[in-house]
Amino acid sequence: MAPIAEEPAVFSFSTDAFPERERLSSWREIVCRTVVSVDIEPVNVEGFYSKATVCQLPGLGVVFVDTVAMHMNHSRELIRGDDLSFVAAPSCQWAGSQAGRNPVCKPGDGMLMNNAEVGSITLAANARFTSFSMPVAAIAPLVSDLDGAIARPIQADNAALKLLVAYLENARDAQALVTPQLQQLAVTHVYDLVAMALGATRDAREIARGRGVRAARLREARAFILRNLARGDLTAATVASHLGVTPRYIHMLFEDETESFSEFLLGERLMRARRVLIDERLAGRPIGAIAFDAGFSDLSYFNRTFRRRFGMTPSEARDEQLRRR
């Protein structure tokens, strides 16, 4: 087995890199034949535009795409193996065709395709979507009826699909996948969520609930917290309401981590305040305003917890950074 890279391979491509008259032919040659194995036919050749970011993990290749309306055809000549592709949540109406099925999908729907068979996808308008490929041997044991899942739309409101789409966004962040162990863990979680979305076997469903689903929920909870640190009313109940779970479940998500929910929230607020304090461009900003913007409503509590975390007061941290500058 080949060694796993310390960091995932991430590549970005854009038609902006080519002269307008060469964009379609270059995209077909570089991306369609080497990344996704499809032929493309834009609805309008003039003004053709596409952008893709590819993240390659062991057992999982993910591509994030922004593109114009087009038809993508996976012909017999392009069949190279028996892996599976999952198309997740295009932002427009779209349609697929494979195995005698021709579903029309709504924005946000997902669908599994078999790369060992001829198939096609049509995007009705400019769209953003995520697609990923994975070995059939990794998914088949986890799904009750894999053949029956091919080219069957998964509704956008499917809970596992929503978790899957949010989880895949983390593949864009190479810092979150810097070790082989983290990469393999992420791939396993994606397999779990795919199985849940398609219809997992009883055993796979139980495993996924304690592994892939939990990991996706935890990532979603952390992301919501980081986006809303300034909110004074940010509590486990607030996060639970956003995720559609109970506050107790939020606390349980953090129980097996190094920090509890409250510790994670406090730590992130302190780190945000410290980043502002040591930014020389913001040297004139009052410490009270910095604390408030980080979500602290009590200045004495902020000063006390800041000193406990960093070994100095907020004003001392600012002065030390200015002296270093």
Kindly report, residue by residue over 266-301, the tens digit of the pLDDT: 999 999 999 999 888 887 889 999 999 999 999 999
CA 112 to CA 94: how far, in whole Å? Answer: 14
- Mapped onto helix, strand or coil, the DSSP state of residue 258 is coil
pLDDT score recorded for residue 325: 65
Which residues does 80 contact at the CB level (< 8 Å), separation at least 6?
Answer: 37, 115
Place of tokens 């945000």: 272
| Number of domains within the chain | 1
Q: What is the DSSP letter of 5?
A: P
Which residues does 220 contact at the CB level (< 8 Å), separation at least 6?
Answer: 163, 166, 167, 243
Does some domain include residue 106?
A: yes
CA 192 to CA 16: how far, in whole Å? Answer: 36
Q: Tell me the two tokens of residue 193.
A: 């969520």
- Mapped onto helix, strand or coil, the DSSP state of residue 43 is coil
pLDDT of residue 132 exceeding 80: yes
How many residues are there in the chain?
325
The range of the structural domain enclosing residue 160 comes to 9-176
Does some domain include residue 252?
A: no
pLDDT score recorded for residue 280: 81
Does some domain include residue 140?
A: yes
Does some domain include residue 156?
A: yes
Q: Closest by alpha carbon to 250, among 208, 217, 227?
A: 217
pLDDT score recorded for residue 178: 55
Average pLDDT, rounded, for the chain: 88
pLDDT of residue 4 exceeding 60: no
Does some domain include residue 22?
A: yes
Averaged pLDDT, 226-230: 92
pLDDT of residue 1 exceeding 80: no
pLDDT score recorded for residue 234: 93
Q: Tell me the two tokens of residue 257.
A: 């981590």
Other CB atoms within 10 Å distance of the CB of residue 265: 22
Q: What is the CATH number of the domain that holds 132?
A: 2.60.120.10
pLDDT band with cut points at 50, 70 and 90 for residue 157 = very high
pLDDT band with cut points at 50, 70 and 90 for residue 255 = confident
CA 258 to CA 251: how far, in whole Å? Answer: 13
Does some domain include residue 288?
A: no
Averaged pLDDT, 1-27: 77
pLDDT of residue 9 exceeding 80: no
pLDDT band with cut points at 50, 70 and 90 for residue 258 = confident
List, in sequence order, the alpha helices (H) in 142-201.
Answer: 146-149, 159-168, 180-198
Does some domain include residue 283?
A: no
Report percent pLDDT > 70 for the chain: 94
Does some domain include residue 197?
A: no
- Rounded to 5°, the CA angle 239-201-192 comes to 45
H/E stretch holding 34: none
In which region does residue 124 sit, left (phi positive, over 0), alpha (psi from -120 to 50) or beta (all else)?
alpha
pLDDT score recorded for residue 2: 42
3-state helix, strand, coil in the chain (%, to 5): 50, 20, 30
